[in-house]
Amino acid sequence: MVTGAIRMGSFAAQREREQILTGLFRSHCVELVRLAYVLLGDRQRAEEAVQEVYLSLFRHWPPRDQGSALAYLRAGVVNQCRSDQRRTIRARRGEPLLRASLPWVQTEPDTATDVVAKDEAGRLVELVRALPRRQREVITCRYYLQLSERETAELLEIGIGSVKTHTHRGLAALQARLEESR
């Protein structure tokens, strides 16, 4: 009889875990794939990175604090992207990175304004990708994910002063490169 109670308890806990993870997936998957895409430049690799992080959370359930599950996912995506980039660099051995197309941009532009906007967005993505790794990560967290300095520092496991420094340097580099290209 005790064994049946234990099985029911573990079944209920597993069901609750699945419901929580399903909710996290439905509400944050697209955001996390976009974050990974900005860091990797490849939609398939971005989706794979996010999938790995969700699987890791599933395997290591429960987190210390269920409220920190989203922070765990974001940090995991950033770390997974770093690992993927290291593997890619080792595999390519210095080959130039290929320019990836933006999946959320239509292939057929409707108007001249759309063409200009898409060209500028693509150019900006290329400029952000050309930044040093830490500046790229901080700029992505601050302006794409719209995280505060504190949240960015926690996610990247650096100090708030470092976030401010990398933000300032990254924005200055982007501004200089944008002015050069005009």
**Given this model, what pLDDT does residue 134 score?**
92
CATH 1.10.10.10 correct for 105-182: yes
Please write the tens of the pLDDT for every residue from 67-115.
778 888 888 999 898 888 877 766 665 444 333 444 444 445 456 566 5
Distance from C-alpha of 154 to C-alpha of 151, rounded to nearest angstrom: 5
Q: CB of 127 within 8 A of CB of 177?
A: yes
Amino acid at position 53, single letter: V
For the chain, the average pLDDT equals 78
Residue ranges of the chain assigned to CATH 1.10.10.10 = 105-182
pTM: 0.54
